[in-house]
Amino acid sequence: QVQLVESGGGSVQAGGSLRLSCAASGYTYNTYCMGWFRQGPGKEREGVAVFYTPTGWTHYADFVKGRFTISQDNAKNTLYLQMNSLQPEDTAMYYCAAEGPRYCTDPLRWLEYKYWGQGTQVTVSS
């Protein structure tokens, strides 16, 4: 079955960087729409960045444009999220999600995704 395992979270100071990884297994990796989502304390889950694995198409939420970069390593079936210039408001549990095999129809809408990892915590202090 589809499995997604995130890693790379941690605690950093404002202005710092982290790289999250999502190791995928159980399906043909390069046929799915994959994304990173986050949920802060007391907040709704929100889309951060999305990657359509067959073509490399990417899409970002406005609040991370220019700071975060989503990428993949096909050989490792792994999705990444490079996060730079982190701010306290970026503090959240970050989740990897996948849906497919199909195109990313409503990419930042978390309800579009069937498969989810367990999450990795990112904490940014001021």
- Residue 116 phi, psi (nearest 5): -135, 145
Residue pointed to by tokens 């999250």: 20
Collapsed DSSP state (helix, strand, coil) of residue 122: strand
Q: What is the mean pLDDT of residues 16-23?
A: 98
Q: What is the mean pLDDT of residues 107-122?
A: 95
pLDDT band at 43 (very low <50, low <70, confident <90, very high): very high
Collapsed DSSP state (helix, strand, coil) of residue 116: strand
- pLDDT at residue 77, rounded to an integer: 93
What are the pLDDT digits (tens) for 68-110?
Answer: 999 999 899 999 999 999 999 999 999 999 998 888 988 899 9
Q: What is the mean pLDDT of residues 29-55?
A: 94
pLDDT, the chain, mean: 95
DSSP assignments along 3-20, one per residue:
EEEEE--EEEETT--EEE
Q: Is the pLDDT of residue 35 over 90?
A: yes
